[in-house]
Each structure stands twice: as C-alpha cells, then as structure tokens.
Amino acid sequence: MKKRIDLLILMLISITMSGIAHAGTVITDGLVSYWTFDLNHIEDGIIEDVWGKNDAIIKGNPKVTGGLIRQGLEFDGAGDYVVLENLGNLQTRTGPSTIELWVKTSDTTTYRTLFRVLELPCSIKDKGWGLSINASWESPDVQGPVRPNPLPQQEKNIFFKEGYLLFENNRNGKRTRCRTLLAAVRHTISDGKWHHIVFVTDALYIDEKGTEWKTSNLYIDNIHQPMPSLPMPWGRFRDSDIDDLIPFTQPVYLGATNNKGKAGAYFRGVIDEVRVYNRAITHEEVTHNFVSRSGLAVEPTHKLSVAWGELKTRR
C-alpha cells in the first residue's frame, strides 16, 4: 500500500513539473527590453532591463507595490516617471515597433499620460507620439463639431474627457514636416482594474487592391480598437512616407509626457510588465501575452516543496 501511495505521489509531482515546464511565457521574438518592476530588479533608482541592456531611470519617488505579476510601480501623479532610452525602432519612430504594458488606475481628475513624446516640428501644434488616458483632441475630424470639456486643459490642444484614450502616432518628417495620425478611442481605463495595453506601429496591411501599407494598431485587453468613423485598419503610411521620418532626439518617458525634455501630465496609478519589441507584433501574439502570467521565468502556482508537503500531510 505504501509503495502504491509513493508511486502516486511521484506521478503527481511529474504532472506538476510537466505543467510548470509548459507554462506560457511571453513572446520573445523581437523583444528589445523588458522591465518587470519587481523589487529585486530595482536598485538605487535604476530599473533593470531583464532582457536587453536598456536599464531605465526612475524620476521622482514612485513606490513598489503589488503588481499584476509579483510587484509593480505606483506613480503619484505629481512628478513620478521613468526614463526609457535607446529603444531601437521605438526610439527612432522610423520602423515597426511595439510597446506593451499593464496599468491600473482609478484617477479621473484630469487627463494623464502613459507615455508621450513631443518634438519639433510636430510639437509646435502640440502633436506628439504616445498614449494618454481621460484625454481627447479638439480637432473636428476626430471629435466632430462639438469640442470636449475644455477644463482642465494641460496642453494647447488636449482636453480632459473621462473614458477616452488619446492615441497619437504623429511623426516628424524631412519633407512633410509633421504627419498626423491620432484617434480618441472610447474605453474606460480608470476603473481600478488591471488593463493590458499594446501600442503597435507600422504593422503590415495589404488592402483589397494588393497595395501594402504600414498601419497603427491599439489593443486594449486583447481587443483591437478602431478609429471612430473610419474603417479598420487606420493610421496608414506608405513605405515612401516611412523613409521621410526623422528619428527621436528625446527619450520616451513612461508615466509622463516628454515635452522637449520637460515632464508633465503625470500618470497616477500602477504600471507593470513593460515590454518593447522592434517589430509590430500580431493580434495572435497580443493574445498570447495577454493570457500569460509567467513573464520570462517559469513560475509554478505552488512551489514544489509546498505541493510535496501537502501530499505527505494527506498520507
């Protein structure tokens, strides 16, 4: 009888280990940088890039708190942000890229920035690259003839509008000066729950005539977000347009707008599991990362020693 029980225990351990080995880790093809925001990856104001070589720099005093996976970083909305530099295509905005993160916030007092860069010449019209929450753009071709609530207003052309995200993929050009691609997407983020956000630049799209375009895509909680009044996909560039683009000179600020080196519109809430890819990941890959709770390392739900202890107790 004892031998049979021991055999059963070994079989259960084998099944457990098999489940651990096949736990879903995140997509690594094209992965440039990965910041877990876990406590053991933060030291002296530096956040370790656990995949690449782009350690991030903490500004202000964000606090380590409970995250989606282990710990995350809590921003106070009053000066906290993280500087991301040297990020390949994301940093240049001249090629395909993806930035992915998990966020949780309940703040609806004003509009907040998840990440946003303003540079000349687009910055003359307050047109940037990035994503803001509870925000909208006054341009009639996005909002229609009725402007959103004008108070509070933090930039010349961005206004507070609860329940909206402002997606901006405006890019500086040598010949065209500033190419404008933006959308005010209706989606509630400020509900105190975790939300998965994926910002994709220059995904390949072939239309019904066989013409190739580079498109901009936004996914929230694994759902592709269309631009109001326009068919999907939206935000198209031709390859000739891409060749005209001018690279960044400023780093990306996570949790704030980088307005030509000056931070503002600070995020209030928790951010976790930030990843950057040097390509446009697909919707299938977005789904894979959305359901993954393993990060890079394989982490069992219960440690083997705990499982073994429970089995011995039941004997």
- Residue 182, strand partner residues: 168
- Residue 102, strand partner residues: 196, 272
pTM over 0.85? The answer is no
Alpha-helix residue ranges (DSSP H) falling in 122-266? 140-143, 239-243
Mean pLDDT taken over the chain: 77
List, in order of start, the domains of the chain with CATH numbers. 1-23+300-315 (no CATH), 28-291 (2.60.120.200)
Q: Dig out the tokens for 300 from the structure.
A: 């069992």
Concatenating the DSSP letter of every residue in 200-235 gives EEEEEEE-TTS-EEEEEEEEETTEEPPPTTSPSSEE
Question: Nearest-CA neighbor of 311 among 17, 10, 43, 29?
Answer: 10
Contact present, 128 and 257 (Cβ < 8 Å)? yes
Q: pLDDT tens-digit profile of 185-201?
A: 888 999 999 999 999 88
Q: Mean per-residue pLDDT for 237-259?
A: 77
- Residue 271, strand partner residues: 73, 103
Cα dihedral angle (165, 169, 275, 186), rounded to 10 degrees?
Answer: 20
- Residue 147 banded pLDDT, cuts 50, 70, 90: very low
Q: Is the backbone peptide bond immediately before 233 cis, with ω within 30 degrees of 0?
A: yes
Query: Beta 112-118 vs 257-259: how paired, if at all?
Result: parallel
Q: Tell me the three state secondary structure of residue 212.
A: strand
